[in-house]
Structure 1
Amino acid sequence: MKKTEAQSIGEIIHEVFRRAGMETNEAEHRALYLWGEIVGAGVNRLTTQRYVADGGVMHVYIASGPLKNDLRFMRSSLISQLNAAVGTNAIKDLIIH
């Protein structure tokens, strides 16, 4: 029996996605998950829905008009932070609804 090194569940999942050619999907899902950490608890509470469409376009629905406006001004910074957090350029655009 061949011994192998122990791997974390995250490493195993990453490898499964990579072998299936779905590495970008994994990064997009991680970006969705990390949204709350990046924007903070207050903004996350007002986030009603989020998803990533084809081409890496992340759509985020916010329940506060003034906050939507503020986030639109921070759009490029948020994209950079999300991509840095996932380690790839998975998020190409961010649309605030």
Structure 2
Amino acid sequence: MKKHKSSENYRQADIIPLKDGISALLKAYRIQGKLNEVVVVSSWERVMGKAVALKTQEVFVSKGKLFVRLTSAPLKHELVMAKTRVLEIINAEVGEEIIKEVVFL
């Protein structure tokens, strides 16, 4: 029995890493940006810590802005003062500049 080497080589040429395949799919359907926004929202507690997360009422992204509704006025004031640092931490979590501005409500 002979093996068909040409078909084996053809299959090897078609094999790509799963990560690359998923990236190509996200790019083709233009949903990478939305996925990154979801990652930002879901990682808020991990990035900012449990204490901040407990006083956070709502987190959402709209048009490149991260909106955070807080239940504590002193915490809001403190985070407003550290807004650029919060922005850096959030964008570092995703690995690219998704969020242009942070708004504390």
Question: Does TM-score exceed 0.5, indicating one fold?
Answer: yes
Which secondary structure state, in structure 2, belongs to the residue aligned with residue 29 of structure 1? Answer: helix
Q: Which has the higher contact order (CA 8 A, sep 6+)?
A: 1
Aligned ranges 1:1-97 → 2 under 5 Å: 2=11, 4=15, 7=18, 12=22, 14-54=23-63, 56-97=64-105
| Partners of 2:75 and 2:34 in 1: CA distance | 28
Normalized against structure 1, the TM-score is what?
A: 0.83
| Partners of 1:69 and 1:75 in 2: CA distance | 10
The CA RMSD over aligned residues, in Å, is 1.9
Q: How many residues align?
A: 93
Pick the structure with more helix per residue.
2
Normalized against structure 2, the TM-score is what?
A: 0.77
Find the structure with the greater CA-based Rg.
2
| Change beyond 3 A, Cα 1:15–1:35 | farther
Q: What residue ranges of structure 2 are gaps of 5+ in the alignment?
A: 1-6
Displacement of 1:26: 1.3
| Partners of 2:57 and 2:91 in 1: CA distance | 21
